[in-house]
Structure 1
Amino acid sequence: MVRLVLAAALIVPSGTIAAQSLVITNKQDATASIISLADGKTVAVLPTGDGPHEVAVSADGKLAVVTDYGAQLAGRTLTVIDVGTRRVLATHPFGDHQRPHGIAFLPDNRTVVVTAERGGAIVLIDAVTGAVTAEHAVGQPLGHMVALSPDAKTAYTANIQPGTLSIIDLAGGSDPVVIKVGTQTEAIAAAPDGRTVWLGSNNTGLVFVVDLNSRQVIDSVQTSGFPYRIAFTPDAALAIVTNPESDEIWLIEATTRAIRTRVDLSSSQGGKRRPFGIVVAPAGDRAWVTMSASAEVAEIDLRTGTVARWMATGQVPDGIGYAR
């Protein structure tokens, strides 16, 4: 299903390009933090809608869009941030849908692809105008997270309750392809080489590898706890998995599926840090991981598998994006 909608009022982002920074959603505070990577300091804390879960940053580093998932009441908005000027540009309605969650930018640096957890759809929204430009059926309930193919022509959703992967042609005209993967599939990442999609199973600790040519599960990796989020290095050599229950991230060789290392993120003071969201630097040498229980973000040196530094966030940080 595809629906086209006319554009709304224009909101123009500034021409300012931010220095390297992180944009992090703080679920408990209903805010987004912008952290400068030059010194690790928070340079802005901006209001969002209730329960901000995920965030996507445009490739040019100018815009960040936060999904306002909601708390007790279902969220129905997206918060648009000008990263360079560190201000909220707009709060856009989420079409006719509720519970926006997974989000990714298209290469035009203004269109975002967002999962409608209630509604069984992905929604394409112009972040500048707020217009809903298209909707595509997922074909399954609880489409939670979304990933894009390297050419951004195909979207992939992890559908929690049925334990499936949906493959959606963003050009429209065809029904989604649905592949049974496992159970409680939430985490998802598409390999940058376009060959596989990886999904995490919350209740088994398994990370499944789906071959996009055969459209079948070809392998799995057993992790501890549950694999909350997955990200790849740009060269597709390494998959990084966050495990909040074991307070670790796992670095997995993408080709062999061998475990390169497990990075222990537990606190020396006791108590859980619970690593959640993850983003990888364009150079592939660093990753940043939010700590939901300790209000921190860790900078990980992927070459050595060690923590380079810790930075403070708001309360219950979750989604994270990188602005170059």
Structure 2
Amino acid sequence: MKKAAHNPIFKTVKFSLIKLFMVSFLCLPLVFAATGCAAQSTPARSLLALSKSDHILAIIDPVNLKVLARIPVGSDPHEVIASADGKTAYVSIYGGGSLHELSVIDLMTQKPLPSLDTRPLMGPHGLAFANGKVWFSAEGSKAVGSYDPVSAKFDWAMGTGQDRTHMIYVNRDGKKVYTTNVNAATVSILEDNATAPAYHEWVQTVIPVAKGSEGFDVSPDGRELWTAGAADGAISIIDLTTKKLTRTIDAKAVGANRLQFTPDGKRVLVSSLRTGDVFVYDAASHKELKRINTGHGAAGILIDDDGSRAFIGCTGDNYVAVIDLKTLTVTGHIDIRGADGLAWAVRP
């Protein structure tokens, strides 16, 4: 053994092993950071942002605008929604290839869960969470459907018969579903017929709107539905009591992608994927207040609960733009490659 200890080869091997251990120990923090192991815990209120380029869901602290975690989702993600308890996120996988599914993410552990295959409902896109269920549009099947996380079953579906059933809005009680049909240039209002409780007959009202209408929102008081058409940029306003188109605004928001009311219902924001502008409208007077340029393409819109800020997913510029809604100016950016769908996750 003494001879072995004085052997030059033995000394060289021993030194190499010590050096390797020291290098590995020093690099360990870098490895943890690179693999996402150093991700911070999800706050009670977080901003969720999708990356279409990296196929990830980013969890962002809305206070300091820092990305806390990046979680892999399926290819071609478009929209995201969180459950009412803020613990689970659902991402629509639009169908890039053979995938037609909803990616599911545990926001507490920041890990993906088994995905949900939506077939035969193809091309899931728009998402909503209401009455304890996940509601989604299925563009490829010209339909909408719902998934019950408690029973772990897809429990309802209805066809619209309209081309490119795309975005979706659902009342809190799950009794009314609104959706835009892009290529058909229509809005569908689907209502649960309470007079036929045995088999829950649903009825549909189809209302013509501007060509290419995609993004839309329902006013906070539930009286109006606004949607903007990508073709000529016109805004269509529907009276939800009479279920009729009551006004068309020549907004010239060409390339209109998403539309959202501020929480107080006083303003409406429209994003343009073609120009990168965000159009700000007064909901009462129907007048344009300002156009805010965010870059080369504005997509998803998400507004703070207090109406102080708007977050815009700028897909072409690889960031989420932050707009101060008091000064109507861009005040910051969050780096997200191919940023698109946005949502809040809030734990009560």
TM-score, normalized by the shorter chain, greater than 0.5: yes
Q: Return the alpha-carbon distance in structure 2 between the equivalents of residues 188 and 93 of structure 1.
A: 26
Residue 247 of structure 1 aligns to which amino acid in structure 2? G
Q: Return the alpha-carbon distance in structure 2 between the equivalents of residues 223 and 130 of structure 1.
A: 44
What is residue 76 of structure 1 aligned with on the other side? 100
Report deviation, 1:164. 0.4
What is residue 216 of structure 1 aligned with on the other side? 244
What is residue 169 of structure 2 aligned with on the other side? 147
What is residue 262 of structure 2 aligned with on the other side? 233
Q: Do structure 1's residue 19 and structure 2's residue 44 form an aligned pair?
A: yes
User: Cα distance 1:225–1:183, how it changes in 2: closer, same or farther (>3 A)?
Assistant: closer
What is residue 303 of structure 2 aligned with on the other side? 280
Q: Return the alpha-carbon distance in structure 2 between the equivalents of residues 132 and 151 of structure 1.
A: 18
> Structure 1 segments of 4 or more deviating over 4 A?
none
Q: Return the alpha-carbon distance in structure 2 between the equivalents of residues 170 and 28 of structure 1.
A: 38
Report deviation, 1:278. 0.8
2:64 to 15, 30, 39: 39
Q: Return the alpha-carbon distance in structure 1 between the equivalents of residues 263 and 69 of structure 2.
A: 28
Q: Return the alpha-carbon distance in structure 2 between the equivalents of residues 129 and 29 of structure 1.
A: 32
Report deviation, 1:74. 4.5
User: Cα distance 1:104–1:194, how it changes in 2: closer, same or farther (>3 A)?
Assistant: same
Moved more, 126-135 or 178-187: 126-135
Q: SS at 1:29's partner residue? A: coil
2:116 to 87, 92, 95: 92
Q: Could you list the runs of 5+ residues in structure 2 that have no partner in the other structure?
A: 1-40, 194-199
Equivalent pair of 1:139/1:176 in contact (CA under 8 Å) = no
Q: Return the alpha-carbon distance in structure 1 between the equivalents of residues 272 and 172 of structure 2.
A: 26
Report deviation, 1:129. 5.3
Report deviation, 1:250. 1.2
What is residue 207 of structure 1 aligned with on the other side? 235
Residue 94 of structure 1 aligns to which amino acid in structure 2? T
Report deviation, 1:261. 1.6
Residue 281 of structure 2 aligns to which amino acid in structure 1? I
1:54 to 55, 69, 79: 79
Q: Report how many aligned residue pairs link the two structures.
A: 299
1:84-122 per-position Cα deviation (integer Å, ceiling 9, x unaligned): 3322123111142111000000043xx111001111211
Residue 226 of structure 1 aligns to which amino acid in structure 2? G
Q: SS at 1:91's partner residue? A: strand
Q: Do structure 1's residue 242 and structure 2's residue 264 form an aligned pair?
A: no
- Determine which structure has more spread, i.e. the larger CA radius of gyration: 2
TM-score normalised per structure 1 = 0.87
- Structure 1 vs Structure 2 CA RMSD: 1.9
Report deviation, 1:152. 4.2
What is residue 11 of structure 1 aligned with on the other side? none
Q: Return the alpha-carbon distance in structure 1 between the equivalents of residues 117 and 148 of structure 2.
A: 11
Residue 322 of structure 2 aligns to which amino acid in structure 1? E
What is residue 138 of structure 1 aligned with on the other side? 160
Identify, as 1 or 2, the structure richer in strand: 1
User: Cα distance 1:59–1:238, how it changes in 2: closer, same or farther (>3 A)?
Assistant: farther
User: Cα distance 1:34–1:129, how it changes in 2: closer, same or farther (>3 A)?
Assistant: farther
Moved more, 191-200 or 28-37: 28-37
What is residue 289 of structure 1 aligned with on the other side? 312
Identify, as 1 or 2, the structure richer in helix: 2
